[in-house]
Each structure stands twice: as structure tokens, then as C-alpha cells.
Amino acid sequence: MSRLSELLKDLKTERELTNPQIVESAKRQGLKLSAGNVSNYLNGNHPERPPTKTLAAFAKVFGVPVSDLEAAAAYTGREPFTPDPSSDRLTAPQRAAVNEIIRLLADGNTGAGESNGSPMNDAGGKPATEEAQLASDFVESKRRQREGGAGGNVHHLVPPPPAEKTAAYRTRSRDKEEEERSRQRGEETQERDDDD
């Protein structure tokens, strides 16, 4: 639950108000707060950046400074992003690409109203935005390049052994054995046509 929702719930409890009483109090003061809005905000189902008018309405109803609600709404609970130390080895164009990916993912989260920082929705694994999918594809292509196109479960590609060191090379096939027996008996063998 968001810090804003926690604060609103605490204020509601302290003032011993019900949701309908909050709506009625707003209406008496000439403010617009619907029952659905009150419920959503108290349960954490509100936009990441709530409208100032809505925060002002809650502030008047509860008798608190709007700045308290704005501060609670601004709190994301996220730490500032610090890139991996190995990012120092990136070239200038690579750094620009990484920064662009970060910007696109962040814009996708802001546009979708998400606060979890994920470009994929949990239900179906579909990207929140086309940009997020492009970024994901870019990262995956770089991973494949690094792994030699082998996929994530293959760590090292090993060349196959020379044919003479394999059992199949040393073992005679039945066709070869039959051909050899026919020659020993003096029979003519019919060469196989590879075109068949």
C-alpha cells in the first residue's frame, strides 16, 4: 500500500469517519470526492501522481496541510538507481543506449501509472509499451551475442571431436559389411545412387 493511502487511512481512523462521511464532508465544503475515489485512495488504488485537486479535497476534509498529502504521494519507496560498476567499461555510444533504455522503461512505467518499475505486466507477460519491448529485445540480442547465440543455458560451446575419434567412424555399418561379403563372394555390387 502507498504511503499516501496509509496516511489517509490513519486520518480516517483518527477522525472516526466512514467513507460516506468523507464524501458528504467534501460535498458540504463544495469539493468533489466521489465514493469510488475515496475507496480507491484509501485502498492504494490511486494514480502514482494524484491530481492536486483531489489531494486538496482530502486535506480540507481531514483538516491537514495539503503539503502533508503531497509529500506522502511523492514518496515512491524506491532507491536512486546506481549502475553496476562494470558500466565504467562501456563506450560512450553504449552508455547512451543504456540511458535511452532506462528512460524508455521509466516513461513506460509513468505512462502506465505503474509504480513497480516493471515493463511487463504480471498477468500475461505483455510489455507495457512498445518502447519497453524494444528495450527488452535489445538486451536479449546483446545477451545472445555474448553467449555466441547459444542461449542462456549453454555456457561454453565445445567443437565436436574429429570424426576419426568417434565410435561411428570406427564402427562399420551393416551396409558396408554386406558390401564387403558380396565382394568376397565375387558378386558384383550395385553402387547406391545418392540421387534416390
Q: Mean pLDDT across the chain, nearest whole number?
A: 77
Distance from C-alpha of 105 to C-alpha of 110, rounded to nearest angstrom: 9
* Greater model confidence, 59 or 189: 59
Q: How confident is the model at residue 58 (pLDDT cuts 50, 70, 90)?
A: very high
The share of the chain scoring above pLDDT 90, in percent, equals 28
* Greater model confidence, 83 or 18: 18
Q: What is the pLDDT of residue 180?
A: 81
Q: Determine the length of the chain.
A: 196
Q: What is the pLDDT of residue 147?
A: 63
Q: Which CATH architecture has domain 3-74?
A: Orthogonal Bundle (1.10)
Q: What is the pLDDT of residue 93?
A: 87
Q: What is the pLDDT of residue 115?
A: 45
Q: Are the beta carbons of 68 and 56 closer than 8 angstroms?
A: no
Q: What is the pLDDT of residue 107?
A: 77
Q: What is the pLDDT of residue 124?
A: 45
Whether the model pTM is above 0.75: no
Q: What is the pLDDT of residue 118?
A: 42
Collapsed DSSP state (helix, strand, coil) of residue 179: helix
Q: How confident is the model at residue 170 (pLDDT cuts 50, 70, 90)?
A: low
Mean pLDDT, residues 174-196: 68
pLDDT in tens, 90-102: 888 888 888 888 8
The gap from C-alpha 155 to its chain's centroid, in whole angstroms, comes to 24
Per the DSSP assignment, residues forming a β-bridge with 127 are 120
Q: Is the pLDDT of residue 44 over 70?
A: yes
The DSSP code sequence of 77-106 is -PPPP---GGGGG--HHHHHHHHHHHHHHH
- Every domain of the chain with CATH number 1.10.260.40 lies at 3-74
* Full 3-state SS string of 106-137: HHHHHHHCCCCCCCECCCCCCECCHHHHHHHH
The owner of cell 558380396 is 182
Distance from C-alpha of 126 to C-alpha of 112, rounded to nearest angstrom: 13
Per the DSSP assignment, residues forming a β-bridge with 13 are none
Residue 170: burial class (beta carbons within 10 Å; 0-12, 13-18, 19+)? exposed
